[in-house]
Structure 1
Amino acid sequence: MALNKLWQIMWIKRVLDIVLTLIATVCLSPFLFITYLLVKLSSKGPALYWSKRVGQQNKLFSMPKFRSMCVGTPQIATHLMNQQADPNAFLTPVGSFIRKTSLDELPQLWSVLKGDMSVVGPRPALFNQDDLIALRTEKNVHTLKPGITGWAQVNGRDEIPIPQKVALDEYYLKHQSIWLDIKIICMTVIKVIRRDNITH
């Protein structure tokens, strides 16, 4: 992709990120408030959980989510936790609900406004997902800003193995455009409504 075209996409993408995030924050403010209360009143601990994530160029940042797990839950990927224990055992009383509805993801709008994330991009890896980080770096996916949703998210989410996930991330890297972003956003809305590929 030509450098000038890439810079143009990045500039338009950042403007769209800010505009869409501000609109979403206003429209979703009742859900943000209600979810905050549900989490706060249903279990001990803060309503927000700050997760250490890998951002653009593999720089670490703190990403907020509404807490769906009990305080003290190991900070590891779901597929790794499945090998050690039942992830559902760590869920708060409302944890399953806010995950199924993706309400736990709403605070990430702050990360988009701050510039740590984009609306669309590869989902940010946990700081200890060494296999995912290494493969993304090998394929230059680490040069992208992570997103709330992405091409891999709408094509399988946590249900697909890491090599396939990175292949989808690489496809997005090579074919990124504003129109592809709009397509991914529309597909995300449909999947959230249908609750497709949502990890409980």
Structure 2
Amino acid sequence: MANQATLSTWKQPRTFYARYGKRALDVGAALAVMPVLGVLTVGVGAAIKLDDGGPIFYRQERWGRHGRPFKIFKFRSMSVGAPDIRNADSSSVASRTDTRVTRVGRFLRTTSVDEVPQFLNVLNGTMSLIGPRPNLATKPLERMGADERRRLTVRPGITGYNQAFYRNSTTLPERYAADCYYVDHLSFGLDLRIVLKTIQTVLTGKSVYSDAKETA
């Protein structure tokens, strides 16, 4: 049975960067982004309120490192009370024709601005800047496959290998395989590549929506 004790004793990245350097960079980046988040909260918050008058932030329980659940923060991009339609991995369906997404939310998703509040998660240690995207904490740990559990040996990230190089254009098994590749090859060089590629991917708007495949 896959439980927290089992996950915590799986092979962990042991390099100096993985154990200490990565967290130091996470904290530094999160602190640097806090003023930006403050400004965005005012601007985005006003736009969300003017659009439909609902809450600015959206919180959701996800699986974190070693199978510990945590609350993820986002700017709300869907209508209040919208039905929660999910993919097989419990991730949110993303489609150009999804009527649950608000007008402001469509912009937030296209630009990935909705993810910026997750720097609060990075600051409190539940997430990293780079890592596998966290799944909803609905599927029991004991029902997860090996690759799905392997992802939980590192902190989940705001962006990751899949988001940088594939965005929403891969299948679920392909995403898990890519996440495991990241876990096995975690390094400063790989994280730097992912950051640079993520910036390029966001600026080009590549694969923000996928109508045929499961989405991240």
CA deviation digits over 1:21-63, x for unaligned, max 9?
Answer: 1112234543332112111221132100001111111211110
Give the structure 1 partner of residue 71 of structure 2: 62
In the alignment, the residues of structure 1 paired with residue 13 and residue 117 of structure 2 have an alpha-carbon distance, to the nearest angstrom, of 33
TM-score, scaled to structure 2: 0.80
User: Do 2:13 and 2:186's aligned partners in 1 also have CA atoms closer than 8 Å?
Assistant: no
For residue 157 of structure 1, give the secondary structure of its aligned residue in structure 2. coil
Higher relative CO (Cα under 8 Å, sequence separation at least 6) belongs to 2
In the alignment, the residues of structure 2 paired with residue 34 and residue 96 of structure 1 have an alpha-carbon distance, to the nearest angstrom, of 16
User: Do 1:122 and 1:169's aligned partners in 2 also have CA atoms closer than 8 Å?
Assistant: yes
Give 1:184's aligned amino acid.
I
Give the structure 2 partner of residue 118 of structure 1: 128
Residue in structure 2 matching 1:72, options 81, 93, 110? 81
Give the structure 2 partner of residue 12 of structure 1: 21
The worse-fitting range, judged by mean Cα deviation, of 40-49 and 19-28 is 19-28
In the alignment, the residues of structure 2 paired with residue 138 and residue 160 of structure 1 have an alpha-carbon distance, to the nearest angstrom, of 15
Give 1:157's aligned amino acid.
R
Give the structure 1 partner of residue 57 of structure 2: 48
* Percent identical residues: 33
Q: Per the alignment, do residues 143 and 74 of structure 1 end up closer, same or farther by CA in structure 2, a change over 3 Å counting?
A: farther
TM-score, scaled to structure 1: 0.86
Give the structure 2 partner of residue 89 of structure 1: 99
Give 2:180's aligned amino acid.
E
User: For this pair of structures, how many residues does the alignment match?
Assistant: 196
Residue in structure 1 matching 2:203, options 172, 190, 193? 193
Residue in structure 1 matching 2:183, options 173, 180, 183? 173
List gaps (5 residues or longer) in structure 2: 1-10, 211-216
Q: Per the alignment, do residues 42 and 77 of structure 1 end up closer, same or farther by CA in structure 2, a change over 3 Å counting?
A: same
Larger proportion of helix: 1
The structural deviation recorded for 1:197 is 1.7
In the alignment, the residues of structure 2 paired with residue 119 and residue 35 of structure 1 have an alpha-carbon distance, to the nearest angstrom, of 21
Give the structure 1 partner of residue 114 of structure 2: 104
Residue in structure 2 matching 1:32, options 41, 52, 65? 41
User: Do 2:165 and 2:197's aligned partners in 1 also have CA atoms closer than 8 Å?
Assistant: no
Give 2:66's aligned amino acid.
Q
In the alignment, the residues of structure 1 paired with residue 154 and residue 30 of structure 2 have an alpha-carbon distance, to the nearest angstrom, of 19
